[in-house]
């Protein structure tokens, strides 16, 4: 696809979500000794919320993409969680494995952000999810939504 169209598509997606996750205004009060691991689906609005929180806290994370039909990390995630549900966070520092974006965000804010209150689950969360859904729609291209399903790789020229 044309690189200008790709740039426009990514800019539109970020604009629709209010550019959340692009800056760190309140970095983590505690940096984990070992990197966190996030199994996610790039186009999932729920996974997007977790990635934004990780960015806002300026936490190091290893992201393992698990698109539908993916063979590299998806089976590993299913073995850890017992089902194919994303996002999935693994924190080797606390031996934590968890699903559900709202729970993951609460955990990150409490454990590394020094915050005691739960993340918004009402209108604020609904608005963030709506932006995430719009960003997912912005990822549409002929053939489907990019980042949702695995695609065959191409060798570089």
Measured CA to CA, the distance from residue 5 to residue 140 in angstroms comes to 12
**For the whole model, what pTM was predicted?**
0.69
Q: Which of 9, 94, 6, 106 lies closest to 49 in space, CA to CA?
A: 106
Flag whether 25 is in a domain.
Answer: no
Measured CA to CA, the distance from residue 53 to residue 78 in angstroms comes to 23
CATH of the domain at 105: 3.40.30.10
Residue 27, pLDDT score: 73
Mind listing the pLDDT tens digit for each residue in 31-41? 899 999 999 99
Indicate whether 108 pLDDT > 90: yes
Place of tokens 């970095």: 27
Contacts of 99 (CB under 8 A, 6+ apart): 81, 85, 86, 87, 88
Residue 115, pLDDT score: 75
Q: How many domains does the chain have?
A: 1
Range of the domain at 118: 3-18+32-143
Cβ neighbours, 10 Å, residue 108: 23
Flag whether 23 is in a domain.
Answer: no
Helices (H), 112-156: 123-138
């Amino acid at each position: 696809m044309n690189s200008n169209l790709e740039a426009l598509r990514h800019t539109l997606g970020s604009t629709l979500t209010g550019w959340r996750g692009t800056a760190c205004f309140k970095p983590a009060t505690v940096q984990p000794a070992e990197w966190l691991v996030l199994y996610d689906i790039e186009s999932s609005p729920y996974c997007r919320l977790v990635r934004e929180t990780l960015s806002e806290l300026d936490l190091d994370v290893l992201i393992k993409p698990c698109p539908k039909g993916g063979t590299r990390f998806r089976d590993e995630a299913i073995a850890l969680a017992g089902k194919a549900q994303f996002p999935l966070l693994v924190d080797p520092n606390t031996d934590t494995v968890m699903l559900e974006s709202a729970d993951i965000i609460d955990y990150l804010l409490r454990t590394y952000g020094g915050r005691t209150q739960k993340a918004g689950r009402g209108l604020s969360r609904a608005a963030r999810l709506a932006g995430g859904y719009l960003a997912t729609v912005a990822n549409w291209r002929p053939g489907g939504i990019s980042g949702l399903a695995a695609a065959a790789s191409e060798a570089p020229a």
